[in-house]
């Protein structure tokens, strides 16, 4: 008896709306409601176009970090990569290198840092991503300190600040750049074989390998992408600050990881979507803005982020607990 197998995807209103991302949308709206209560002039185009400029620099990191966490790994060296590439760019420029080249150098250095992370992880699989990125986090920022000590470096050409402060057609350049990158990353993750393989590796690394996924190549690519995006962050951050020091982007790793996890991406890997972290970026960004409205110091944001990170992980752990475990316990399979 032949049974036809359906190819129409099952769909229901209920399951559609029961997704994590809708919760985030609610929180997003709630943040805006609260903010508007705090400031009567809140709802205008200016707020929504200008405010993101202040927090989108680190948002570039959220894109590859989503991939990293879906892979089941973590990367706490991103802040240090930002610092090192920014510092080298500033130093190179001040040593005579033309600014466009210095910017290219920034991206190159950042990508190289990411590449090193990837090489260490693929060559030394015994080491977890935690310890590898912990070590490189220290080394990269350490090099930045060794180069620039406690000085600042800057003196960039006037047009450079346009990158982080100006707009084109009314829309800030940084927003355009981020939107473009977000689209690229979202498509990569959700519509390409590359993204599919990332999910596979995060869900079951062994089975992916046996199924012909080039796991090393994918890990390396994601690492380089992480570095590259850190380079973008460095470019925009430095442009906005006008100068750079070795201690920039300190704490970025926590913020970025918190945004990704808040976005519904489970640290156990294989799950989550780009939409969530993107929403989380704006939630945190506008939340921070709101805190500023009431003159709450920036440190409070760190507390909130830490709490959000932990809470999100707790909730996600509970949510995914009953689903099929990643590696079934040996006794169950072995049977007789």
Partner 1 sequence: MATPILELKHISKTFPGVKALEDVHFELRRGEIHALVGENGAGKSTFIKVITGVHRPDAGQILVDGAPVEILGPADSQKLGIAAIYQHVTCYPDLSVTENIFIGHETVHPVLRSIDWKELHRRAGELLARLDADFDPRAAMGTLSVAQQQIVEIAKALSANARIIIMDEPTAPLTARESEDLYRITEALRDQGASIIFISHRMEDMYRLASRVTVLRDARYVGTWNLDQIRREDLITAMVGREITQLFPRRNVAIGKEVLRVEGLSRTGFFRDVSFSVRRGEIVAITGLIGAGRTEVCEAIYGVTRPDGGRVLLDGEELHVAGPAQAIDKGLGYLPEDRLRQGLVLDWDLARNVTLPTLGQFTTLGWIHTGKENAVAKQLTERLRVKAGSVFDRAATLSGGNQQKIIVAKLLAGAMKVIILDEPTKGVDVGAKTAIFEIMNELAAAGYGIVMVSSEMPEVLGMSDRIVVMREGRVAGILETASSSQEQILRAAMPESRAR
Partner 2 sequence: MSGAAPIPVEGTVRRAAPLSESFRELGLLVFILLLCGLFQLGNHNFLTLGNIRDLLTNTAILSILSVGMMMVILTRGIDLSIGSIIALAGMAASMTVSAHRDIHPLLSILEGVAVGTACGALNGLLIARFNVLPIIATLGLMNVIRGGTYLLSGGAWVSSYQMSDGFKAIATGKLLGVSYPILIAVAINLAFVYFIDHTRTGRRIYAVGSNPDAADVSGIPRRRIIWLVYTIMGALSGLGGVIWAAKFASAQSDSAVGFELSVIAATVLGGVSIAGGSGKVSGLVLGTILLGILNNALPLIQVSPFWQMAIQGAVILAAVLTNVLVKRNNQRSALQRRVI
Find the shortest distance in angstroms from Cβ 197 to partner 1: 7
Does residue 137 contact residue 108 with C-beta atoms inside 8 Å? no
By CB under 8 A, name the one of 146, 171, 180, 217 that touches partner 2.
146
Q: What, of partner 2, partner 1, none, does residue 135 touch, CB below 5 to 8 Å by kind?
A: partner 2
> Which range binds partner 1 by CB under 8 A, 15-23, 83-91, 194-202, 308-316?
194-202
**Beta-bridge mates of residue 168:** 171
Does residue 75 contact residue 133 with C-beta atoms inside 8 Å? yes
Does residue 33 contact residue 287 with C-beta atoms inside 8 Å? no
Residue 293 binds to partner 2 (criterion: CB under 8 A): no
Residue 122 binds to partner 1 (criterion: CB under 8 A): no
Q: Give the residue with the Cβ less far from partner 1, 28 or 194.
A: 194
Helices (H), 8-165: 13-17, 20-38, 45-70, 78-94, 99-123, 129-148, 160-165
Find the shortest distance in angstroms from Cβ 8 to partner 2: 37
Residue 87 binds to partner 2 (criterion: CB under 8 A): no
**Residue 198, CA distances (Å) to 29, 67, 155, 226 in order:** 31, 7, 41, 14
Q: Give the residue with the Cβ less far from partner 2, 130 or 162.
A: 130
How far apart are the C-alpha atoms of 266 and 260, rounded to whole Å? 9
Query: What angle separates helix 20-38 from helix 275-293, to the nearest 10 degrees?
Result: 20
**Residue 64, CA distances (Å) to 18, 96, 109, 288 in order:** 26, 32, 17, 23
User: What is the Cα 127 distance to its own chain's centre?
Assistant: 22
Q: Give the residue with the Cβ less far from partner 1, 125 or 214.
A: 214
For the record, the structure tokens of 183 come out as 């689209």
How far apart are the C-alpha atoms of 245 and 149, rounded to whole Å? 8
Does residue 28 contact residue 283 with C-beta atoms inside 8 Å? yes
Window 173-212: contact mask with partner 2 (x via CB under 8 A): ----------------------------------------
Q: What, of partner 1, partner 2, none, does residue 240 touch, CB below 5 to 8 Å by kind?
A: none
Q: Give the residue with the Cβ less far from partner 1, 98 or 190.
A: 190
> Which range binds partner 1 by CB under 8 A, 49-57, 210-218, 240-248, 295-303?
210-218
Residue 317 binds to partner 1 (criterion: CB under 8 A): no
By CB under 8 A, name the one of 2, 8, 126, 322 that touches partner 2.
126
Ranges within 254-273 binding partner 1 (CB under 8 A): 270-271
Residue 333 binds to partner 1 (criterion: CB under 8 A): yes
> Pick from 102, 235, 269: which is nearest to 161 by CA?
235
Residues contacting partner 2: total by CB under 8 A: 43
For the record, the structure tokens of 179 come out as 């939107």
> Pick from 333, 324, 328, 193: which is nearest to 271 by CA?
324
Q: Which residues bind partner 2 (CB under 8 A)?
A: 74, 76, 124, 126-128, 130-131, 134-143, 145-146, 149-150, 246, 251, 253-254, 257-258, 261, 267, 297, 299-300, 302-303, 305-307, 309-310, 313-314, 317
Q: Which residues contact partner 1 (rule: CB under 8 A)?
A: 2-10, 188, 191-194, 196-197, 199-200, 203-204, 206-216, 270-271, 323-324, 327-328, 331, 333-336
């Amino acid at each position: 008896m032949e049974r036809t197998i359906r190819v129409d995807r099952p769909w229901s209103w209920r399951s559609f709306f029961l997704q994590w991302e809708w919760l985030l949308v609610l929180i997003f709206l709630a943040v805006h409601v609260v903010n508007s209560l705090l400031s009567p002039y809140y709802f205008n185009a200016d707020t929504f176009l200008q405010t993101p400029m202040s927090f989108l620099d680190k948002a570039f990191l959220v894109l590859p970090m989503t991939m990293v966490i879906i892979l089941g790994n973590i990367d706490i060296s991103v802040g240090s990569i930002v610092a090192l590439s920014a510092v080298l760019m500033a130093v190179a420029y001040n040593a005579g290198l033309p600014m466009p080249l210095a910017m290219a150098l920034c991206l190159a250095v950042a990508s190289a840092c990411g590449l090193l992370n990837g090489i260490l992880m693929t060559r030394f699989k015994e080491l977890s991503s935690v310890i590898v990125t912990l070590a490189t986090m220290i080394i990269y920022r350490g090099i930045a300190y060794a180069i620039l000590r406690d000085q600042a470096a800057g003196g960039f050409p006037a047009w450079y600040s346009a990158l982080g402060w100006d707009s084109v057609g009314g829309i800030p350049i940084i927003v355009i750049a981020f939107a473009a990158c977000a689209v690229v990353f979202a498509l990569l993750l959700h519509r390409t074989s590359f993204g599919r393989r990332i999910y596979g590796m995060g869900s079951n690394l062994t089975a992916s390998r046996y199924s012909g996924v080039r796991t090393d190549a994918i890990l390396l690519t994601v690492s380089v992408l992480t570095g590259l995006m850190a380079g973008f962050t460095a470019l925009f951050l430095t442009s906005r600050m006008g100068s750079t020091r070795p201690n920039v982007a300190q704490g970025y790793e926590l913020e970025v990881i918190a945004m990704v996890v808040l976005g519904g991406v489970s640290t156990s890997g294989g799950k989550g979507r780009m939409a969530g972290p993107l929403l989380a970026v704006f939630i945190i960004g506008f939340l921070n803005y709101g805190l500023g409205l009431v003159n709450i110091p920036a440190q409070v944001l760190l507390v909130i982020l830490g709490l959000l990170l932990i809470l999100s992980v707790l909730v996600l752990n509970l949510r995914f607990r009953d689903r099929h475990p990643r590696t079934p316990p040996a006794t169950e399979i072995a049977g007789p």
